[in-house]
Amino acid sequence: MSDIHLVAYDAAHSPHIRAIREAVFIAEQQVPVELEFDGLDDVALQLLVAVDGQYVGTGRMLDDGHIGRIAILKECRGLGLGAKMVQALVDEAVRLGYPRVYLGAQTQALGFYAKLGFTPYGSEFMDAGIPHLSMEQSLI
Protein backbone atom coordinates (compact mmCIF):
# COMPACT_ATOMS: atom_id res chain seq x y z
CA MET A 1 0.00 0.00 0.00
CA SER A 2 1.44 3.38 -1.01
CA ASP A 3 0.41 6.87 0.02
CA ILE A 4 1.34 10.15 -1.65
CA HIS A 5 1.73 13.25 0.48
CA LEU A 6 2.13 16.83 -0.79
CA VAL A 7 4.24 18.50 1.89
CA ALA A 8 6.36 21.52 2.71
CA TYR A 9 10.13 21.40 3.12
CA ASP A 10 9.82 21.82 6.86
CA ALA A 11 11.28 20.29 10.01
CA ALA A 12 8.89 17.33 9.85
CA HIS A 13 9.51 16.43 6.19
CA SER A 14 12.91 17.77 5.12
CA PRO A 15 14.91 14.99 6.87
CA HIS A 16 13.01 12.36 4.87
CA ILE A 17 13.34 14.31 1.61
CA ARG A 18 17.06 14.83 2.17
CA ALA A 19 17.69 11.18 3.09
CA ILE A 20 16.03 9.87 -0.08
CA ARG A 21 17.78 12.37 -2.36
CA GLU A 22 21.13 11.75 -0.67
CA ALA A 23 20.75 8.00 -1.23
CA VAL A 24 19.64 8.26 -4.86
CA PHE A 25 21.38 11.30 -6.29
CA ILE A 26 24.47 11.78 -4.13
CA ALA A 27 25.40 8.19 -3.22
CA GLU A 28 24.14 6.32 -6.33
CA GLN A 29 24.56 8.90 -9.08
CA GLN A 30 27.48 10.86 -7.61
CA VAL A 31 25.75 14.26 -7.89
CA PRO A 32 27.67 16.85 -5.84
CA VAL A 33 25.74 17.87 -2.72
CA GLU A 34 25.91 21.57 -3.64
CA LEU A 35 24.14 20.84 -6.94
CA GLU A 36 21.53 18.56 -5.40
CA PHE A 37 20.53 20.98 -2.67
CA ASP A 38 20.22 24.17 -4.70
CA GLY A 39 18.39 26.41 -2.22
CA LEU A 40 15.01 26.06 -3.96
CA ASP A 41 13.50 23.41 -1.70
CA ASP A 42 11.96 25.95 0.68
CA VAL A 43 9.90 27.50 -2.14
CA ALA A 44 8.97 24.24 -3.89
CA LEU A 45 5.95 22.03 -3.41
CA GLN A 46 7.39 18.78 -2.13
CA LEU A 47 6.04 15.28 -2.46
CA LEU A 48 6.77 12.19 -0.40
CA VAL A 49 5.53 8.68 -1.15
CA ALA A 50 5.26 6.13 1.63
CA VAL A 51 5.04 2.36 1.38
CA ASP A 52 3.78 0.63 4.51
CA GLY A 53 4.33 3.83 6.48
CA GLN A 54 7.95 4.35 5.37
CA TYR A 55 8.95 7.20 3.04
CA VAL A 56 10.63 5.73 -0.04
CA GLY A 57 10.30 8.42 -2.72
CA THR A 58 10.28 12.15 -3.21
CA GLY A 59 9.93 14.84 -5.86
CA ARG A 60 9.22 18.53 -6.09
CA MET A 61 7.61 21.19 -8.27
CA LEU A 62 8.54 24.84 -8.47
CA ASP A 63 5.90 27.54 -8.90
CA ASP A 64 6.61 27.79 -12.63
CA GLY A 65 5.65 24.13 -13.20
CA HIS A 66 9.20 22.77 -13.17
CA ILE A 67 9.10 19.20 -11.85
CA GLY A 68 12.31 17.74 -10.52
CA ARG A 69 14.19 15.71 -7.97
CA ILE A 70 12.08 12.62 -8.64
CA ALA A 71 13.76 9.87 -6.62
CA ILE A 72 12.74 6.42 -5.43
CA LEU A 73 14.89 4.30 -3.14
CA LYS A 74 16.48 1.43 -5.08
CA GLU A 75 14.63 -1.33 -3.24
CA CYS A 76 11.26 0.20 -4.14
CA ARG A 77 11.77 0.81 -7.86
CA GLY A 78 9.59 -1.04 -10.33
CA LEU A 79 6.45 -0.73 -8.20
CA GLY A 80 4.88 2.09 -10.25
CA LEU A 81 5.59 4.69 -7.58
CA GLY A 82 7.45 7.08 -9.89
CA ALA A 83 4.48 7.33 -12.24
CA LYS A 84 2.11 7.93 -9.31
CA MET A 85 4.40 10.66 -7.97
CA VAL A 86 4.75 12.48 -11.29
CA GLN A 87 1.00 12.23 -11.92
CA ALA A 88 0.28 13.67 -8.46
CA LEU A 89 2.50 16.68 -9.29
CA VAL A 90 0.83 17.10 -12.70
CA ASP A 91 -2.60 16.92 -11.05
CA GLU A 92 -1.55 19.60 -8.57
CA ALA A 93 -0.27 21.79 -11.42
CA VAL A 94 -3.68 21.44 -13.13
CA ARG A 95 -5.41 22.34 -9.86
CA LEU A 96 -3.20 25.43 -9.55
CA GLY A 97 -3.94 26.49 -13.14
CA TYR A 98 -0.45 26.07 -14.56
CA PRO A 99 -0.43 26.08 -18.38
CA ARG A 100 2.29 23.43 -18.55
CA VAL A 101 4.73 21.36 -16.56
CA TYR A 102 8.28 20.67 -17.63
CA LEU A 103 11.37 18.85 -16.47
CA GLY A 104 14.91 17.87 -17.33
CA ALA A 105 14.80 14.11 -17.83
CA GLN A 106 17.87 11.94 -17.54
CA THR A 107 18.14 10.36 -20.99
CA GLN A 108 17.77 6.87 -19.49
CA ALA A 109 14.32 7.98 -18.21
CA LEU A 110 12.95 9.46 -21.46
CA GLY A 111 10.64 6.51 -22.09
CA PHE A 112 9.27 6.71 -18.55
CA TYR A 113 8.28 10.37 -18.96
CA ALA A 114 7.00 9.85 -22.53
CA LYS A 115 4.55 7.23 -21.20
CA LEU A 116 3.29 9.89 -18.77
CA GLY A 117 2.52 12.33 -21.60
CA PHE A 118 5.72 14.40 -21.71
CA THR A 119 7.29 15.34 -25.04
CA PRO A 120 10.93 16.24 -25.57
CA TYR A 121 12.16 19.60 -26.81
CA GLY A 122 15.54 21.20 -27.36
CA SER A 123 18.95 19.59 -27.39
CA GLU A 124 20.52 17.14 -24.99
CA PHE A 125 22.41 18.81 -22.14
CA MET A 126 24.57 17.73 -19.24
CA ASP A 127 23.46 18.27 -15.65
CA ALA A 128 25.72 17.08 -12.84
CA GLY A 129 27.65 15.03 -15.43
CA ILE A 130 24.48 13.15 -16.49
CA PRO A 131 22.92 13.57 -19.97
CA HIS A 132 19.42 15.09 -19.90
CA LEU A 133 16.74 16.25 -22.32
CA SER A 134 14.05 18.84 -21.60
CA MET A 135 10.49 17.51 -21.69
CA GLU A 136 7.12 19.21 -21.24
CA GLN A 137 3.42 18.54 -21.01
CA SER A 138 0.79 21.11 -21.92
CA LEU A 139 -2.04 21.34 -19.40
CA ILE A 140 -4.37 23.57 -21.43
Overall pTM surpassing 0.85 (yes/no): yes
Q: Is the dihedral of CA 28, 29, 33, 39 positive or negative?
A: negative
Walk along the chain (140 residues) and give the pLDDT tens digit of each residue: 889 999 999 999 999 999 999 999 999 999 999 999 999 999 999 999 999 999 999 999 999 999 999 999 999 999 999 999 999 999 999 999 999 999 999 999 999 999 999 999 999 999 988 999 999 999 98
Task: Give the DSSP H/E element, type plus range, for residue 18.
Answer: helix 14-21
Amino acid at position 121, single letter: Y
Cα end-to-end distance, the chain, whole Å: 32
What is the set of domains in the chain, with CATH numbers? 2-98 (3.40.630.30)
How far apart are alpha carbons 95 and 115 in whole angstroms? 21
